[in-house]
Amino acid sequence: MQDEYAARRAALMEIVPAASIVLLPGAKLQYRNADAEYPFRQNSDFYYLTGFSEPDAFLVLTKDEKAKVKYILFSLPHDPEAEIWSGKRIGQEGAVKDYAADEAYVCDQLEPVVSKLLDGMQHVYCPKSYDLSAWSNIPKSEVNVLPLIHEMRLIKSPAEISELREAAKISAVAHNKLLRACKPGMFEYQLEAMFTGYCMQEGCRALAYTPIVASGNNACTLHYIENTQKISDKELVLIDAGGEFNNYAADITRTIPANGKFTPEQKAIYQLVLDAQLQGIDEVRPGNTWNKVQETMLQVIVGGLVELGIMQGDVETLIKDKAYRQFYMHSSGHWLGLDVHDAGTYQIEQKWRKFEPGMVLTVEPGIYINSNANVEEKWRGIGVRIEDDILVTEHGNEVLSRDAIKQVADIENAAI
C-alpha cells in the first residue's frame, strides 16, 4: 500500500504550483471521561495520504521552485516508558523506513522546522480551519487543501474498492444473522451487540458509525441510536449498521419483521420502498446524474403512497410541493469511503454531478409513518428504510452489499 499512498501524494503535488507547502495535521487522542480514551481513529484525509495511524502526527509536503517534492512526517518519538503503557510507536526511523518519508521529526520540532521550510514558499495549502499563527512568515497565498484531497478521494482505486467490498460483505452477513436471531421480547441493544460482535470477529476493528436498531415507531426517528426498547410482536425493526474494514466503511440498512412475518400493511410499505430502491439502483451508471436516482425513487414512492391512499392528489404536484416530506424527508444517499458520509461534492457549478467508474455511494429510500401521522391507524408506526452500497462500474454498477437479504419472501423464509 505504500506505493499507493506515495502515488496519492504525488497526484496532490501535481495540482499545486511550484514554491508551495502543504500542511495537514493528523487526529489527536480524544478522552471519553477522566483518563479513559476513545479508541483512536486517524483523520481520513491524513490516512488517505500516509496510511499512518498514530495520534498527534503531522504531514508536510513541499514543492520547491524547481518542482522537486519532499514528504516530511512529524510523529511521536520512541519513549520506552510511555510505550510500556500505550504500545510501541513507529518513531522517526520507522517513519522513513516503513512509511517512505523523506524526512521525519518528532512533534516538538514542528514549529522550527516548518518555519525554515516556509522561506521561499509562495503558497501554503492547509485545512481552512487550521491556525497558522505559530509562523510569522506564512505566504500571503493561502488555499484550503481539503477540496483538492476530497476530489481525489471521490474516485476509488482498486485497492480501496477491495476494502469497501470486504466491509460490505462482512456487514451483509451480520445483517443476515440479525434477521435470523430477531425475536419479540429481545431488546434493541441485543441485536446491536450481535452485529458489533460479528463484525469485530471478522476483522472490522470498529463500526463505521453508531448502529441504529429501531423497533416500532422508533424507526420513524432517522438517527435513533438509544437502542434500549424491548421489541414487541408484530413490529418492524429497522437496522442501519455497517462495519469499518481498514478504515473503509460499509453502510447498510435492512428492515425486518420482529416475528418473521410482515403484516399486510407492513408488506405494502416495505415492497414500495424496495421497488423504489431497485429502480434507483438501476439509475446508477456512468454518465447518469446524481439527482436522477432521487427523482426516480420519488416517482415510485409518491405514486405508491397515493395508490395506497396514504397521500391524496396529483403525483407531480405532490412532488413539486414536496408534500412527500412528511413521510420521506431525506435524499437518496451519499458518497461512501473512508467516511460513511464520504468526501466529494454532489454538484459542480450548480449542476448535478455525473457518475464515473470508481465512485461508491449508497442508495437508501425510506418511508416513515409516525404514530401521530394523520393517516389511517393501520399505517401508523411503520418505518422502513432499505440501503445498499453501490460501486459505479464501467458499464453499470455493482451492489457491494448484495449478500444482505432484502426480498420479502427471502426475509420471511430466513426468519423461520
pLDDT value at 182 more than 80 = yes
- What tens digit of pLDDT does each residue of 297-316 get? 999 999 999 999 999 999 99
pLDDT value at 269 more than 70 = yes
- What tens digit of pLDDT does each residue of 63-79 get? 999 999 999 999 999 99
253-to-48, 186, 227, 283, 404 alpha-carbon distances in Å: 26, 19, 15, 19, 9
Q: What is the mean pLDDT of residues 195-201?
A: 98
Residue 1 pLDDT level (bands cut at 50, 70, 90) = confident
> How many helical (H) and strand (E) elements, i.e. helices and strands, does the chain have?
12, 21
Q: What is the mean pLDDT of residues 174-193?
A: 98
Residue 119 pLDDT level (bands cut at 50, 70, 90) = very high
Pick left, alpha or beta for residue 100 (phi over 0 → left; psi -120 to 50 → alpha; otherwise beta). Answer: left
The enclosing H or E element of 304 equals helix 290-307
Q: What is the mean pLDDT of residues 247-259?
A: 98
pLDDT of residue 220: 98
Residue 375 pLDDT level (bands cut at 50, 70, 90) = very high
The pTM (predicted TM-score) of the whole model is 0.97
**Closest residue by Cα to residue 176 from 407, 1, 358:** 407
Residue position matching grid coordinates 486517524: 42
Distance, in Å, from the CA atom of 240 to the CA atom of 256, rounded to the nearest integer, reads 11
Q: Which CATH number fits domain 155-414: 3.40.50.300, 3.90.920.20, 3.90.230.10, 2.10.77.10?
A: 3.90.230.10
* Chain length of the chain: 416
Q: Rounded to 5 degrees, what are φ and ψ at 124? A: -120, 130
**SS3 category, 396:** coil
pLDDT value at 385 more than 70 = yes
Q: What is the mean pLDDT of residues 229-240?
A: 98
Positions marked catalytic: 35, 223, 240, 251, 330, 334, 341, 364, 368, 385, 387
pLDDT of residue 256: 98
pLDDT of residue 401: 98
Exposed / middle / buried, residue 242 (Cβ in 10 Å: 0-12, 13-18, 19+) = buried
CATH topology of domain 2-153: Creatine Amidinohydrolase; Chain A, domain 1 (3.40.350)
What cell numbers appear for 4 in the block? 499507493
290-to-188, 206, 253, 269 alpha-carbon distances in Å: 34, 30, 20, 25
- What tens digit of pLDDT does each residue of 283-293 get? 999 999 999 99
Could you give the percent of the chain with pLDDT greater than 90? 98
Domain ranges within the chain, ordered by starting residue: 2-153, 155-414
Helical H runs in 233-289? Answer: 264-282
pLDDT of residue 276: 98
pLDDT of residue 416: 66
pLDDT of residue 394: 97
Amino acid at 390: I
pLDDT value at 373 more than 90 = yes
Order across the sheet with 388-392: list the strands. Answer: 360-363, 388-392, 397-399
- What tens digit of pLDDT does each residue of 20-49 get? 999 999 999 999 999 999 999 999 999 999
pLDDT of residue 349: 94
Cα end-to-end span (Å), the chain:
44
* Angle (deg, nearest 10), helices 264-282 and 290-307: 150
Pick left, alpha or beta for residue 190 (phi over 0 → left; psi -120 to 50 → alpha; otherwise beta). Answer: alpha
Distance, in Å, from the CA atom of 339 to the CA atom of 133, rounded to the nearest integer, reads 29
Distance, in Å, from the CA atom of 338 to the CA atom of 77, rounded to the nearest integer, reads 27
pLDDT value at 13 more than 90 = yes
Q: Rounded to 5 degrees, what are φ and ψ at 85? A: -85, -40
- What tens digit of pLDDT does each residue of 208-228 get? 999 999 999 999 999 999 999
Q: Rounded to 5 degrees, what are φ and ψ at 136? A: -90, -15
